Amino acid sequence: MTQTSPGAIAPDLTLIEQLAHDAIAGLPGPYRAAATQIRLRIEDFAPDEILESLDIDDPFELTGLYEGVPLTEKSISDQPMQPDVIWLFRRPILDEWVDRGDVSLQELVTHVLVHELAHHFGWSDADIARIDPWWE
C-alpha cells in the first residue's frame, strides 16, 4: 500500500480532472480526438437524482458514469439535445484507490475514464483491454 504522511491533503477535484485529461491525451489518436468532445464533470459524489435513477443506495458504489447516446446509436440526422458527459466521482475513486493500495491514482482514474468511454464508443471488453491494460 502507498504510504502518505499524516498531514497529507487528499487529492482534490482539480487533480482528478487533470488526471482525466492526461488519460484522454494518452489515448490512441482516433479515440483521443473524439474523447475531447465529451464533457467531463468531476464531483465529490454522484448527485442524488443520478443515484436514485440507478437504484444505488451507497454513493461510494459509483466511481463514474457516462451520460449520452453511444456513437454506435447516433445518426447524423439526430439533433444533439445535450452534450455527452462523463462524470467522475472523486470520493468513491479515492476510496477504491486507498482500498486497493496497489495502483496509482492515475491508473485508477484512467481505468474509470476508459470504462466510461467504452459506453460512448460501444467498445467490447477486448477493445477496452487494448486501450486499458488494467484488464491484463
13-71+82-135 has CATH 3.80.10.10 classification: no
Digit-coded pLDDT (tens) for 8-22: 678 999 999 999 999
Residues 88 and 52: beta-carbon distance below 8 Å:
no
Q: Is the dihedral of CA 35, 13, 95, 44 positive or negative?
A: negative
- The ranges assigned to domains in the chain are 13-71+82-135
Digit-coded pLDDT (tens) for 46-92: 999 999 999 999 999 999 999 987 777 766 666 667 789 999 999 99
Quote the pLDDT of residue 57.
96
Prediction pTM value: 0.84
- Cross-sheet strand order for the sheet of 39-43: 39-43, 85-89, 64-67
Residues 20 and 42: beta-carbon distance below 8 Å:
yes
Residues 117 and 124: beta-carbon distance below 8 Å:
no
